[in-house]
Amino acid sequence: MTTAVAPTISLPDEPGLLARFRWAVSDTLVIARRNLLVWARVPAYLVFTVIQPVMFVLMFRYVFGGAIHIPGRISYVDFLMPGIIGQTAAFATFATAIALAQELQKGVIDRLRSMPMARSAVLAGRLVADTGRMLVTILIVVGVGYAVSFRFQNGLVPAILMVVLAVVFGLAICLIAAFTGLAIKDEESVQAFGLIWLFPVTFLSSAFVPIQSMPGWLQAFANNQPVTYVINTMRALAIGGPIEANLWKSIACLAGIFIVFGPLAVRAYKRAS
């Protein structure tokens, strides 16, 4: 092993404001890189974020799809893909909540907070990494969609905007997940809680079936909840159709989530120990 001519390593002196900002960015990227490295090392995470969405695509396309009737002349796979992509982005946040709860339990966050790094970097790095991870997953799902005859029908720019909207939507859910992970702290409870709210919210929406096929009382909920607004917007971007109303509602809902859960997540992180 290298016994290297042990050079004296001195820590940099107390930084100014600009330097602090630079370090906050650099710390965030170091943490993000670490999170992505961990993600790539754990087969279970890969299955959860890549294989599972692909299975959803194939299952809905070939198993349930035949029984689901879409009004108009839209093919089910075209109807389905924006929904699956939204659902994929939302479910990717399970990992956010679980990872934060784990780090808290193991004392990793304590160690990091006792160091002279930017305190915001743990949370920010987590969100940056998860956004990257989400984007990769979404692109894979789009690829699989293309293989089973899904096509964007509205041009390249709306297609890109749809992916962007999916990522922003995922990031919003990520903040909720980060908050629950830091507030609940226990890995299993976090997982169970995620299941309890994420499943209904994504499935009781326009993601997989036309809402008209649901009973009336359910339609009232499904028609008026954020996931439906976002999926409808994504769908309009992907395959055309009226967009305006849903777009504004989506923006309002997502902004609301950021405004409420951003500070909540930060506060939970500051308090967490």
Residues that bind other proteins (CB under 8 A): 1-4, 6-7, 9-14, 23, 26-27, 30-31, 34, 37-38, 41-42, 105-108, 110-117, 121, 185-186, 273
Closest contact distance (angstroms) between CB of 194 and other proteins is: 20
Tell me whether residue 29 or residue 159 sits nearer to other proteins (CB atom).
29
DSSP 215: -
Distance CA 162, CA 240 (A): 11
Tell me whether residue 186 or residue 221 sits nearer to other proteins (CB atom).
186
Angle between helices 226-239 and 244-271 (to 10 degrees): 130
Residues 6+ away with beta carbon under 8 Å from 18: none
- Quick check: helix, strand or coil at residue 202? helix
Question: Do the Cβ atoms of 126 and 104 come closer than 8 Å?
Answer: no
Tell me whether residue 16 or residue 71 sits nearer to other proteins (CB atom).
16
Closest contact distance (angstroms) between CB of 180 and other proteins is: 15
Tell me whether residue 95 or residue 253 sits nearer to other proteins (CB atom).
95
Closest contact distance (angstroms) between CB of 118 and other proteins is: 9
Pair of tokens at residue 65: 């799809």
Tell me whether residue 41 or residue 73 sits nearer to other proteins (CB atom).
41
Question: Do the Cβ atoms of 91 and 202 come closer than 8 Å?
Answer: yes
Distance CA 93, CA 193 (A): 12
Closest contact distance (angstroms) between CB of 141 and other proteins is: 25
Distance CA 43, CA 105 (A): 22
Closest contact distance (angstroms) between CB of 134 and other proteins is: 20
Distance CA 250, CA 67 (A): 29
